């Protein structure tokens, strides 16, 4: 069995957020467990390109990665060289292949899916939020509708699906009737457990937003909720995004005279991100839609509780394990939750003590890799009957 991971972007292209890092971690764990694997990706790094040699194997943490040039610098990621190499690899392979595609609505994913199906090679698709109703109805919805009707629907009907949460599975089942949908959480790179510190003395509730800064994250909801709270707080916003959108948020902060209470610190690299998380009392993620939410587990891994929208894929996990709070994604509901948390600070200390061990047990690499290998073997048996 050989697994070919297809992703339009790969580390170190962190501009694309959590999915890029999850795909690389998955690839590394499969390689460690003696699964034959290759990664086909592009040099995409936002509006720039990574500097790796195109068309050659680059070994990334022991994983063979093929980076290819793309002709389009937007989210379409058109790469004829990648598609040609995929076609050649399938033709020359003397063993069963599974193509695992990550995300949809780009030409790498859709055309790779077409090639695989023409060659009768099974495809596992991890939508990573791109096949939710939100995704269908935002960012060129008319174009997506026609592409889906003309080609996408037929391609997707022949795919096996991997969802990262029960919520994402539910979203998929509302749109399709796939022959298989299996839920396996993302791999997440977590630090060693460090000594916990507690904010007993400070009256200031230290809030943190750490993610890509884009409309789907609904930072406006958090800013509106904070506009009328009557307890002391400090909000740190960590992340990057389109300059025009960030300016619109800064105008909201200025209009409501919130500048003394809001601090913008930009993108935080992996080596400092966990220190930032641990330095705060509460991570707030008011996303309109989120298939998983890596930062939720990252926050809990250092003991920082979370307050997340019930549209984040991990909302059920947070509620079931008392690791934070969820809310209906409206400013007044978020405001109510913030008042409740501020009035019951002891819960933050309880979560700081219990969360790091809990998430390391539930998202252990060894446990997750067995589930992914089980998924591949099930698809292999269904696709290559003896």
**145 and 279 fall within a common domain:** no
**148 and 258 fall within a common domain:** no
**119 and 231 fall within a common domain:** no
Percent of the chain beyond pLDDT 90? 77
**69 and 183 fall within a common domain:** yes
Question: Where are the alpha helices (H) located in 139-288, listed in sequence order?
Answer: 141-147, 153-157, 166-175, 219-226, 243-255, 270-278
Gap between the terminal Cα atoms of the chain: 14
**141 and 266 fall within a common domain:** no
Length of the chain: 386
- pTM recorded for the entire structure: 0.90
State yes or no: pLDDT of 191 exceeds 90: no
**176 and 220 fall within a common domain:** no
Whether residue 192 lies inside any domain: the answer is no
Question: Is the pLDDT higher at 146 or at 335?
Answer: 335
Q: How far apart are CA 243 and CA 241, in angstroms?
A: 6
CATH number at residue 290: 3.40.50.2000
User: Which structural domain range is residue 348 located in?
Assistant: 205-362
Torsion of CA 292, 297, 298, 304, to 10 degrees: 130
Coil, strand or helix: which one is 184?
A: coil
Whether residue 327 lies inside any domain: the answer is yes
331 membership: H or E segment, kind and range: helix 331-343
39 membership: H or E segment, kind and range: strand 36-42
How are the residues of the chain apportioned to helix, strand and coil, as percentages rounded to the nearest 5? Answer: 45, 20, 35
Whether residue 104 lies inside any domain: the answer is yes
Specify the number of domains making up the chain.
2
Whether residue 252 lies inside any domain: the answer is yes
Whether residue 195 lies inside any domain: the answer is no
HSE-up (13 A, CA, CB side) for residue 368:
23
State yes or no: pLDDT of 254 exceeds 80: yes
Whether residue 245 lies inside any domain: the answer is yes
**152 and 228 fall within a common domain:** no
**240 and 93 fall within a common domain:** no
**356 and 371 fall within a common domain:** no
Give the pLDDT confidence of 314-370 residue by residue, as tens digits.
999 999 999 999 999 899 999 999 999 999 999 999 999 999 999 999 999 999 999
Whether residue 194 lies inside any domain: the answer is no
State yes or no: pLDDT of 197 exceeds 70: no
* Mean pLDDT on 81-101: 95
Cβ-based neighbours of 26, under 8 Å, separated by 6 or more: 5, 186, 187, 372
**168 and 271 fall within a common domain:** no
Q: How far apart are CA 305 and CA 316, in angstroms?
A: 15
**102 and 242 fall within a common domain:** no
Mean pLDDT lowest among 62-66, 146-150, 281-285, 318-322: 146-150
**53 and 104 fall within a common domain:** yes
State yes or no: pLDDT of 182 exceeds 70: yes
Point out which residues pair with 49 in neighbouring strands: 44
State yes or no: pLDDT of 120 exceeds 70: yes
Question: Is the pLDDT higher at 256 or at 149?
Answer: 256
Whether residue 156 lies inside any domain: the answer is yes
């Amino acid at each position: 069995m050989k697994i070919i991971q297809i992703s339009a972007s790969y580390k170190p292209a962190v501009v694309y957020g959590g999915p890029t890092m999850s795909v690389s971690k998955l690839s590394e764990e499969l390689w460690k467990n003696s699964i034959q694997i290759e990664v086909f990706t592009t040099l995409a790094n936002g509006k720039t390109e990574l500097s790796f040699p195109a068309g050659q194997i680059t070994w990334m943490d022991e994983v063979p990665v093929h980076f290819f040039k793309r002709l389009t610098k937007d989210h379409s990621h058109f790469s004829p060289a990648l598609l040609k190499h995929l076609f050649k690899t399938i033709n020359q392979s003397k063993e069963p292949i599974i193509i695992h595609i990550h995300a949809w609505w780009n030409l790498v994913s859709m055309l790779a899916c077409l090639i695989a199906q023409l060659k009768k090679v099974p495809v596992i698709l991890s939508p990573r939020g791109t096949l939710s109703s939100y995704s269908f109805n935002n960012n060129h919805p008319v174009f997506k509708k026609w592409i889906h009707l003309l080609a996408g629907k037929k391609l997707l009907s022949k795919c096996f699906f991997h969802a990262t949460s029960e919520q994402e599975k539910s979203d998929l089942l509302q749109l399709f009737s796939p022959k298989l949908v299996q839920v396996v959480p993302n791999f997440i790179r977590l630090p060693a457990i460090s000594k916990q510190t507690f904010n007993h003395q400070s009256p200031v509730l230290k809030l943190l937003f750490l993610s890509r800064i884009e409309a789907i994250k609904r930072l406006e909801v958090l800013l509106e909720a904070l506009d009328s709270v009557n307890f002391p707080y400090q909000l740190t916003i960590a992340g990057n995004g389109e300059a025009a959108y960030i300016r619109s948020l800064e105008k909201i902060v200025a209009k409501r005279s919130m500048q003394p209470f809001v601090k913008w610190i930009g993108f935080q690299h992996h080596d400092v991100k966990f220190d930032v998380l641990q330095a705060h009392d509460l991570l707030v993620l008011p996303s309109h839609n989120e298939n998983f939410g890596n930062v939720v587990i990252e926050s809990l891994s250092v003991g920082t509780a979370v307050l997340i929208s019930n549209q984040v894929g991990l909302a059920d996990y947070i509620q079931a394990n008392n690791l934070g709070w969820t809310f209906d994604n409206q400013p007044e509901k978020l405001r109510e939750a913030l008042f409740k948390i501020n009035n019951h600070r002891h819960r933050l200390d309880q979560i700081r003590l219990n969360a790091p061990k809990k998430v390391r047990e539930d998202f252990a690499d060894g446990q997750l890799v067995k589930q992914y290998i089980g998924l591949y073997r099930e698809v292999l048996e269904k696709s290559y009957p003896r």
